[in-house]
Chains A and B, each alone.
Chain A
Amino acid sequence: MSANQMIVQRMLRFKWPGRLSDANFSLKLMQWLLPLVLFLTATVYEVIEHGIKRTEPFTLSLTAEIVFFGIGGPVAVAIIFGYLRMLVASETAARQSLERLNRELEVKVAERTALLAERNAELSRANQQLQQIDALKSEFVSLVSHELRAPLTALNGGLELALQAADTLPPPARRILEAMASESRRLTQLVQNILDVSRLEAGRLTLNLGPVAVAPILHRSVEVVLGDRRPVLWQMPAQIPPIWADETYYEQIIRNLLRNADKYSPAGAPVEIKVAVAPDGIGVEVVDHGPGITPEVQAVMFERFTRGQTGENAPPGWGLGLYFARKLTEAQGGRIAVRSPARPTPTAPGAAFTVTFPPAAEEPEEVEDG
């Protein structure tokens, strides 16, 4: 609002008595009152003037001067005031229409706001429903996993019992039982993973963090996952500071990457393991000699139930491994990334997965205490 407008507003707010507060009415009053006063003043003045002077011809000069001063002037004043009134009237009309538009605009804004609020409420309702469904799903998954664990216990235990006397079993029966035990262990691990994922999503997975030595975990994981089936090319500094992680889950992530590398590499091809120590984290890179991963798959591969290959020739798996690895890594303050092609060889470009964990806090300078 400009300074002029403010002054006008203040003047308008000033209380004039009765209808005089109406600008239009006072102008109208002036338009008629002022010419009348001027006419009367001029007429009286001329009559007195000519009465004193007594010049001839009295009537003609009196009439001419009254007409000239008493009528011409007031008429001019009336016309000017009429013009002013017209200006004021048009200004008032413009202001009024502006005010009406403003009011309409306000109504519209209010309407739109109400509509928006309604949409928001709808959206939050839908969101709530989705959350409920998600919670239900997690609850369901957890329930199912629990229900699965009881028969698995019996299954594993039965196989354990049967294999106690493995030496006395006929070789085919023993082989079958051993294969069953291995599959049963795999199934147990899967159920455990699903349960862990649902717990992680529900924020109920308890991490047991502490300093973890990287090299022993890498060696043990390679031994368990790859055995002697595959050569491993190591690239590791002599000293790796301990990382800050949950030891069990860290090993699970490493095993997972190794299992993937094994799954997607041709027989006999080596797996490369590289460890890089940086101030902000210790990175472990697992590189395979597989067919590589397209950018489209890379974009979604850390999500649930997505897999690098599908169809009959795809290696077995559930598409949970990388999702779980990512979730677990992030929950521990680490990060996971993929790079493919890992090398320029077009026949086996391979993929490189890197998990980086923060180093464990350094101890303060030692003080003698014992």
Chain B
Amino acid sequence: MADILLVDDDQNLCQLLSEYLRGQGYAVRCAANGRAGLRELFERKPDLVVLDVTMPQVDGWETLKRLREVSDLPVIMLTARDDEADVLRGFSLGADDYVCKPFSFAQLAARIKAVLARSRGGSSTEELRAGDLVVDLAARRVRRGEAVLNLTPTEFNLLVALMKRPGQVLTSEELVRAVWGPQYASEIGFVRRYIWHLRQKIEPDPEHPRYIHNERGFGYRFQVVEG
């Protein structure tokens, strides 16, 4: 079973979270600050580190930097600062994922599962890949190469519905059912508009789509076309 190291100066949170994660079948160790965390890391060699950003003495970023000098262990950052700049900084320092406080324990557990699956190189059920596009289903994030794409929840659902059946043609009805539910047949007439806006965000050249293709009279097909 996976071994998780929890580095957070909030003792109550540490205690509650380790209890929850143990209930999920993980072995959990806690460290109260960055220095203790690094020490634990060398002694115990965990499978994954959950690292709080705001800590006295050595903070989360500094800990992450030092950790990355010696190891490529998966790291999930716990941040109370969900400003974009902080998140980007986290990625540039080599964080694998981040969760913003206040988060639900179930949400963090889902991220831990996804990051562990990814780091073990197994094909994660939490991730869809096609060409440059990477869709993280647990974190609901989409990247194209290095760029993070800002999709709305509807656009995300639309993309996932298409990507889950690559190469197949999905009708507007099927897309509406997958995104909003069968009772919203009134949206069928607007699927073209949603697709057009989605293309503006995900296609490198929306005029010559690489990912989402029209099958006139039938529907839409997701397929990566090279070149």
Would A246 and B152 be within 8 Å (CB), given that A153-B13, A239-B189 are in contact? Answer: yes
Task: In the complex, identify which listed stretch (A36-44, A49-57, A110-118, A361-369) lies at the interface while the others stay far away.
Answer: A361-369
Does B46 sit within 8 A of A, measured CB to CB? no
Does A150 sit within 8 A of B, measured CB to CB? yes
Docked complex Cα distance between A188 and B186 (Å): 35
Does B83 sit within 8 A of A, measured CB to CB? yes
Does A295 sit within 8 A of B, measured CB to CB? no
| CB-defined contacts of B72 to chain A, threshold 8 Å | none
Does A77 sit within 8 A of B, measured CB to CB? no
Shortest Cβ distance from residue B185 to the other chain A in the assembled complex, whole angstroms:
10
Contact B197 A150 (CB under 8 A): no
| CB-defined contacts of B13 to chain A, threshold 8 Å | 150, 153-154, 157
Q: Residue of A at shortest CB range from B184?
A: A216
Q: Residue of A at shortest CB range from B194?
A: A211
Shortest Cβ distance from residue B61 to the other chain A in the assembled complex, whole angstroms:
15
Count of interface residues, chain B, beta-carbon cutoff 8 Å: 47
Task: In the complex, identify which listed stretch (A202-210, A318-326, A346-354) lies at the interface while the others stay far away.
Answer: A202-210
Docked complex Cα distance between A157 and B23 (Å): 13
Count of interface residues, chain A, beta-carbon cutoff 8 Å: 45
| CB-defined contacts of B125 to chain A, threshold 8 Å | none
Contact A369 B154 (CB under 8 A): no
- Per the 8 Å Cβ criterion, residues 156-207 of B in contact with A are 180-181, 184, 186-187, 189-190, 192-197, 201
Q: Residue of A at shortest CB range from B198?
A: A210
Does A240 sit within 8 A of B, measured CB to CB? yes
Chain A interface (Cβ within 8 Å of chain B)?
Answer: 146-147, 149-154, 156-158, 160-161, 164, 188, 191, 199, 204, 206, 208-213, 215-216, 238-242, 246-248, 360-364, 366-370
Shortest Cβ distance from residue B18 to the other chain A in the assembled complex, whole angstroms:
10
Contact A248 B153 (CB under 8 A): yes
Docked complex Cα distance between A140 and B208 (Å): 49
Q: Which 6 A-B pairs have the closest CB atoms?
A: A370-B213, A363-B196, A210-B152, A154-B13, A153-B102, A152-B102
Contact of A157 among B20, B54, B84 (CB under 8 A): B20
Docked complex Cα distance between A150 and B80 (Å): 7
Shortest Cβ distance from residue A141 to the other chain B in the assembled complex, whole angstroms:
14
Contact of B17 among A146, A147, A157, A370 (CB under 8 A): A157
